[in-house]
């Protein structure tokens, strides 16, 4: 439907569906988040995940008596080019699921539906660290690794809708088994999950070296997570800092590989793990400097932290539904 008079000035609802939570926001046209709501993600159930999305939308819509432009949903999964179908989600239950059709019938709102990292990339291009860049890449570090591409002012989704899934580039032949079904994927070495897994391996094999980490989990190595490592690193634990530098090394290597193919102007690092800031980005930049093809004879991309933090996905989804309505694409 076309935008009615004054609709461009209305807020939109943006929803970010991740592996652990459904986060929503009422977002003004300038990217300001006016209100938020969230629910846990029942990731093993398609219907219950849709229930959680609907509950967040209803809570936000109920908090505002005036209309909204529509609902944008960024979700952790591989979508077809139209955004109608979630082809696959490594960390959620969607398998060839008609998410857009199901939610449009239920919510009765104009909708944009697509990948969560695409939405975050768009938000950083519109309002954040990649503003004005000719070619910007987004890398989201959390449970896994997602990504998005903005080129010449347009979100690039690829021929089949699944561009930017570089978390599943193989970086270690016959390496760790990944949820996507392959082995050695990048996200198995440069994500929050990877940080926790490496910590558990070290703690099991060398409890003395991991003594400070093990104190946080009553000496139960199986309970260690990436969050424990991050907290310990912030407090100066030498092993935690080493583990974090190793993740940063893998991150930088992957960025070098992407630079060889795409030659981006800027690479924005977002997602939950990105809150570690320079503890992660400094080793990533150093590895990029050493691994960039043609180093010394060509510029590399700037590697920067996302400015919008955890709200990038919902801010981007809200702006994308606003644009879809304006272009009569819903």
Which CATH number do you get for residue 20? Answer: 3.30.420.40
* Residues 44 and 96 both lie in one domain: yes
Task: Write down the pLDDT at residue 6.
Answer: 56
Q: Residues 6 or more apart from 135 whose CB is under 8 A from it? A: 149, 150, 151, 152, 262, 263, 264, 265
* Residues 54 and 158 both lie in one domain: no
Domain assignment of residue 290, given as a range: 133-306
Task: Write down the pLDDT at residue 275.
Answer: 82
Q: Residues 6 or more apart from 55 whose CB is under 8 A from it? A: 39
Q: Is residue 90 part of a domain?
A: yes
Task: Write down the pLDDT at residue 1.
Answer: 35
* Residues 238 and 118 both lie in one domain: no
Domain count, the chain: 2
* Residues 142 and 216 both lie in one domain: yes
CA dist 275 → 68, 222, 231, 271, 279 (Å)? 31, 24, 11, 8, 9
Cα torsion at 135, 330, 146, 173 (round to 10°)?
-100
Structure tokens belonging to residue 114? 């697509």
Task: Write down the pLDDT at residue 289.
Answer: 97
Q: Which tens digit of pLDDT belongs to each residue from 195-235?
A: 999 999 999 999 999 999 999 999 999 999 999 999 999 89
Q: Is residue 1 part of a domain?
A: no
* Residues 141 and 226 both lie in one domain: yes
* Residues 117 and 245 both lie in one domain: no
* Residues 160 and 22 both lie in one domain: no
Q: Is residue 168 part of a domain?
A: yes
Q: Is residue 22 part of a domain?
A: yes
Residues of the chain with pLDDT under 50: 1-5
Q: Is residue 77 part of a domain?
A: yes
* Residues 286 and 322 both lie in one domain: no
Q: Is residue 282 part of a domain?
A: yes
Task: Write down the pLDDT at residue 49.
Answer: 93
Q: Is residue 2 part of a domain?
A: no
Task: Write down the pLDDT at residue 7.
Answer: 63
Task: Write down the pLDDT at residue 77.
Answer: 87
Q: Is residue 128 part of a domain?
A: no
Cα–Cα dist 266/271, whole Å: 16
* Residues 220 and 314 both lie in one domain: no
* Residues 116 and 252 both lie in one domain: no
Q: Residues 6 or more apart from 329 whose CB is under 8 A from it? A: none
Task: Write down the pLDDT at residue 91.
Answer: 76
* Residues 149 and 251 both lie in one domain: yes
Q: Which tens digit of pLDDT belongs to each residue from 262-298?
A: 999 999 999 888 888 899 999 999 999 999 999 999 9
* Residues 191 and 291 both lie in one domain: yes
């Amino acid at each position: 439907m076309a935008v009615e008079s004054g609709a461009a000035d209305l807020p939109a609802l943006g929803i970010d569906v991740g592996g652990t939570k459904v986060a929503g926001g009422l977002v003004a046209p300038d990217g300001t988040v006016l209100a938020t709501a969230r629910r846990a993600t029942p990731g093993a159930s398609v219907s219950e995940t849709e229930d959680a999305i609907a509950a967040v939308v209803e809570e936000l819509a109920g908090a505002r008596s005036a209309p909204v432009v529509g609902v944008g949903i960024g979700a952790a999964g591989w979508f077809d080019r139209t955004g109608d179908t979630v082809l696959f989600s490594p960390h959620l239950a969607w398998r060839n699921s008609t998410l857009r059709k199901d939610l449009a019938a239920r919510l009765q709102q104009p909708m944009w539906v697509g990948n969560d990292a695409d939405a975050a990339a768009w938000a950083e291009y519109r309002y954040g660290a990649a503003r004005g860049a000719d070619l910007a890449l987004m890398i989201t570090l959390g449970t896994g690794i997602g990504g998005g591409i903005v080129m010449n002012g347009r979100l690039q989704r690829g021929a089949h809708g699944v561009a930017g899934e570089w978390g599943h580039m193989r970086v270690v032949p016959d390496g760790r088994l990944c949820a996507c079904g392959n082995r050695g994927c990048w996200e198995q070495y440069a994500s929050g999950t990877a940080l926790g897994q490496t910590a558990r391996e070290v703690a099991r094999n060398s409890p003395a070296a991991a003594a400070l980490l093990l104190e946080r989990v009553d000496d139960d190595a199986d309970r260690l997570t990436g969050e424990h490592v991050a907290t310990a690193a912030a407090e100066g634990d030498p092993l935690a800092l080493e583990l974090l530098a190793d993740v940063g090394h893998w991150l930088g290597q992957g960025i070098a590989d992407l630079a060889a193919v795409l030659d981006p102007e800027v690479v924005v690092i977002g997602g939950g793990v990105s809150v570690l800031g320079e503890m992660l980005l400094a080793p990533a930049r150093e590895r990029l400097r050493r691994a960039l093809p043609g180093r010394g004879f060509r510029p590399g991309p700037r590697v920067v932290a996302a400015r919008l933090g955890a709200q990038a996905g919902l801010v981007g989804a809200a702006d994308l539904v606003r644009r879809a309505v304006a272009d009569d694409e819903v």
